[in-house]
Amino acid sequence: MSLQEDSKKVEKEMGKSLRERAEKSRLVRQKELRNHMLLLGMGLALIVIMVVVVSKVVSLHSSNNSDVAVANDSEKQSAAKDKNQQQEDKEEAAKTPEPTKEPQAEGTDKWLRKDLDSKKPMVALTFDDGPYAPVTEKILATLKKYDAKATFFCVGNRVPGYPDVVKQAYGQGCQLASHTYEHKILTSVKKKQIIWQVKKTDSTFEEIIGCHTTALRPPGGAVNDKVKENVKVPLVCWNVDSEDWKSRNTPKILQRCQSIGDGDIVLMHDLYPTTAKAVAKLVPQLIKKGFQLVTVDELFYYKDIKTEGGSVYFSGK
Ligand SMILES: [Zn+2]
């Protein structure tokens, strides 16, 4: 091989290697560019996604705010409405006089039977200081079993707590009577307070059974001229004291009731389970002896006692 040929070959080889290198570096650049483009694309896509998410969150938040604003507005409106209504109610109340609560029914229609035998002995069991459902219900069950009636001198402020038991007593023909609204010793309060205690008890009964009371038992049996003047129904005391509150003992209560006679008014309290147990035994015993168990209004009616408001009565004798 000649020197010329050799140098040509070398040139050729060199040219070839240069072209290859150029080609290689072009491919590398292309690859790099593709990678860059890909990254850029991904970056853009991420930005777009983020923009969409952020805009969604913002729109959701602003719609909540507008809901709150609407709610606030409607609350404000309804508060304004209430205020207007209250104002109207006040004006209406000022125009119309305080409604005088007339009883819807006469209590005596329910608790004064007119078909009893006036010749047979009668006794009026009376229960003070209730109602108290756990005990009053048991007493009512005994009375119902023997078709017996009794009188419940309720403390007015206890009545709304036991409306069902009060309705039940009324439905059974028992007499609902007043023992004042707050068990007030009426001799130690002012005239205004006596009147309030009576009226408040009556309006409470009015709401539950639709009628007023026709008898009041003064707490502690305490009566003076001021009480007599200001209570417009008969003041009903008792002549047989079971002392159930003192003994809280069923045999002792029954023992104290052994002397019961015609026309008696017996004092008990529908607060103690021992009283309810005594009543369960006493009622059939009295019926066996020939007694009719009556309300105080029935006792006065059949014993021909013309009762007057503010007068005190201890028995039907
Ligand atoms: Zn009492």
Residue 100 falls inside a structural domain: no
60 and 120 housed in the same domain: no
Range in 80-84, 153-157, 281-285 with the lowest mean pLDDT:
80-84
Q: Residue 221 Cα, ligand 1 centroid: separation in angstroms?
A: 8
Q: Which amino acid is at 168?
A: Q
Q: Residue 129 Cα, ligand 1 centroid: separation in angstroms?
A: 5
Q: Residue 130 Cα, ligand 1 centroid: separation in angstroms?
A: 9
Residue 85 falls inside a structural domain: yes
Residue 221 contacts residue 237 (beta carbons within 8 Å): yes
Flag whether pLDDT at 143 surpasses 80. Answer: yes
Residue 98 falls inside a structural domain: no
* Catalytic-residue membership of 212: no
Flag whether pLDDT at 300 surpasses 60. Answer: yes
Average pLDDT, the chain: 82
Q: What is the pLDDT of residues 30-83, one digit of tens each?
A: 767 676 665 555 655 545 445 444 455 344 444 333 333 333 343 334 444 444
* Catalytic-residue membership of 109: no
Flag whether pLDDT at 85 surpasses 80. Answer: no
295 and 198 housed in the same domain: yes
* Domain final residue, candidates 64, 93, 122: 93
Query: pTM (2 decimals)?
Result: 0.69
69 and 151 housed in the same domain: no
* Domain final residue, candidates 27, 60, 93: 93
Catalytic annotation, pick one of 179, 269, 270, 297: 269
Read out DSSP for 38-64?
A: HHHHHHHHHHHHHHHHHHHHHHHHHHH
Q: What is the pLDDT of residues 209-248, one digit of tens each?
A: 999 999 999 999 999 999 999 999 999 999 999 999 999 9
153 and 213 housed in the same domain: yes
Count of domains observed in the chain: 2
215 and 86 housed in the same domain: no
Residue 103 falls inside a structural domain: no
Residue 104 falls inside a structural domain: no
206 and 299 housed in the same domain: yes
Residue 282: domain span: 109-313
Residue 31 falls inside a structural domain: yes
Flag whether pLDDT at 97 surpasses 90. Answer: no
Flag whether pLDDT at 105 surpasses 50. Answer: yes
214 and 298 housed in the same domain: yes
Residue 99 falls inside a structural domain: no
Q: What is the mean pLDDT of residues 292-305?
A: 97
Which residue shows structure tokens 């309290």?
A: 269
Q: Residue 290 Cα, ligand 1 centroid: separation in angstroms?
A: 29
Residue 102 falls inside a structural domain: no
Q: Residue 236 Cα, ligand 1 centroid: separation in angstroms?
A: 12
137 and 245 housed in the same domain: yes
Range in 56-60, 204-208, 247-251 with the lowest mean pLDDT:
56-60
pLDDT at 203: 96
What b/e sequence results for 55-93 when a residue is b if at least 16 CB atoms lie within 10 Å of its CB, and e otherwise? eeeeeeeeeeeeeeeeeeeeeeeeeeeeeeeeeeeeeee
160 and 226 housed in the same domain: yes
Domain at 259, CATH number: 3.20.20.370
